[in-house]
Amino acid sequence: MGKIIAGIGTSHVPSIGVVYDQGRTQEPAWKPLFDAYEPVKDWLKEIKPDVAIVVYNDHGGDFFFDKYPTFAVGAADVYPVGDEGWGRRPLPDFTGDADFSWHLCNELVYNEFDITVCQEMAVEHGFMVPMHLCWDHGSDWPVKVVPVAVNVIQHPLPTALRCWKLGQAIRKAVESYPKDTKVVILGTGGMSHQLNGARFGYLNSDFDRDFLDKIQNDPMALTELTHQQIMEDAGAEAVELIMWLTMRGALDGAPLRQVHRNYYAPMTTGMGLIALEEAV
Amino acid sequence: MAKQVDSERPIEDTKIFDAEQTRLGYRLNKFAMSLVKLANREAFLADEDAALTASGLNDEEKQLIRDRDWRAIMDEHGGNIYMIMKIGAVIGEGLYQIGAHQRGQTYEEFLATRNAAGAK
Ligand SMILES: [Fe+2]
């Protein structure tokens, strides 16, 4: 049977990808960020998930506002590395598990999540940065993936509570998968940041640290946040954080152990990390 | 039900990318999105005027791009930062240059406001 074994919340800032590709991860200002993922990488090597469900948003990698899905789920055996305008990054394409994805899509729709099913889907920094922060790769990745894209950039956005419920529905779907499959779910984006207007660069580290506390211990409080509150307190682009609630919703009901947590805010985005595992 | 976006509580110096903004900025954002294709980036770099002429943008929008007027594109013309960044990427202006311009600062002035500007 399928089983959710762990969840990770992580930021997905594009500059992390540039620095990674240029081999600059040990520069003094970057080291605190990249080193924080080492314990997570080691832990993932131990628990060896078969599939990573990655909840992220597309920033104009493959989707545009001509038709921008509220929730979209990949259902392919391969997800190519997209070109967001900087050229194709030197990363291997991602291997999917179309059987698992289609099971997920069926169950989600029959549980009233009317997602867009994507048989072709190029992935971009929102998806890729968390992947290479958490997993080493050679010519392939050590885990199969399911990209789950959420609209957090063009209002109206799904509510925080809706994102949480999507996570609960994902858990149910995973648990009804007949093949033994260990699943880790990633909620990505945020934390505090604003990229538009004269408020560009707004950060709120207190908000971010409180969010990190609550995502583990009091997620229901976070489901009550409106987009307005998040944008006021943490910046207009911080609404991405609602995607962490999908990750956390997928862990709902299980006793959790914190594997690792980190916070670093060097430039314009609070870069958060939390890794949670289901205590057996 | 709590309002998700409350127009009676505008956030200072902030544009919320909603129906009004996405409709206003549609052409500019669509042009920016076209630059995810290498051929379009090459055409833009080879002859910016020709690329803009062929773009379907109106004269005001074309001028905003010629002027690299990121602040006006974002504040007054419905630019979406994730799309507009793609224009910056082609001409060598990154997110932080665009951000500094929106703040009315030089790039160096902006960097001086950061906790660890080495992480740029
Ligand atoms: Fe993002």
Position A165 confidence tier, pLDDT thresholds 50, 70, 90: very high
State how far the Cα of A93 lies from the Cα of B118, in Å rounded to an integer. Answer: 30
- Whether B41 is covered by a domain: the verdict is yes
Task: Taking residues B9-19, report their average pLDDT.
Answer: 97
Total structural domains within chain B? 1
Are B15 and A196 inside 8 Å of each other by CB?
Answer: yes
**Does pTM top 0.80 for this prediction?**
yes
Phi, psi of A127 (to 5 degrees): -90, -45
Among B1, B85, B23, B120, smallest CA distance to A267 is for B120
Task: Identify the CATH homologous superfamily for domain A2-278.
Answer: LigB-like (3.40.830.10)
DSSP state of A252: T
User: pLDDT tens digits for A106-144?
Assistant: 999 999 999 999 999 999 999 999 999 999 999 999 999
CATH code of the domain covering residue B107: 1.10.700.10
Q: How far is the CA of A59 from the centre of ligand 1 (A)?
A: 7
pLDDT band, very low/low/confident/very high, at A46 (cuts 50, 70, 90) = very high
B38 and A83 within 8 Å at the Cβ level: the answer is: yes
To 10 degrees, what angle do helices A205-217 and A227-234 make?
A: 140
Mean pLDDT, rounded, of chain A: 97
Assess contact for A81 and A62: CB atoms under 8 A.
no
On the question of pLDDT at B1 being above 80, the answer is no
Query: According to the model, what pLDDT value does residue A49 have?
Result: 98
β-bridge partners, A74: A118
Q: Which of A12, A59, A103, A125 is catalytic?
A: A125
Q: What is the average pLDDT across A252-273?
A: 96
Domain extent at residue B71 = 19-113
Place of tokens 């989707």: A63
Helices B38-46/B81-91 angle, 10° precision: 50
Q: What pLDDT shows up at residue B20?
A: 98
pLDDT for the residue A197: 97
Per-residue pLDDT reduced to its tens digit, A86-95: 999 999 999 9
What is the pLDDT, as a whole number, of residue A73? 98
Q: Do B30 and A64 touch (CB under 8 A)?
A: yes
- Is the pLDDT score of B2 beyond 90? no
Q: For position A161, what pLDDT does the model report?
A: 98
B60/A contact by beta carbon, under 8 A: no
Q: Residue B18 and residue A87: Cβ atoms within 8 Å?
A: no
> What is the predicted pLDDT for the residue at B102?
98
What average pLDDT does the segment B6-24 reach? 97
**For testing the chain A interface, which of B4, B41, B106, B109 should be mutated: the one with the most A CBs within 10 Å?**
B4
Residues from chain B that touch A59, judged by Cβ atoms under 8 A, are 82
| Residue B32 within a domain | yes
- Return the domain boundaries, chain A: 2-278
CB atoms within 10 A of CB A224: 11
Q: How many CA atoms lie within 13 A of B82 on its CB side?
A: 23
Q: Is residue A179 classed exposed, middle or buried when 0-12, 13-18 and 19+ CB atoms within 10 A define those classes?
A: exposed
Nearest alpha-carbon partner for A133 in A246, A6, A10: A10
Residue with tokens 């832990």: A43
**Shortest alpha-carbon distance between residue A63 and chain B (Å):** 9
Residue A257: strand pairing partners: A277
Reported confidence tier of residue A280, pLDDT bands at 50, 70, 90: confident
User: Could you tell me the strand order of the sheet in which A51-56 lies?
Assistant: A116-118, A71-74, A144-150, A51-56, A181-188, A2-10, A271-278, A256-264
Q: Is the pLDDT of residue A229 over 80?
A: yes
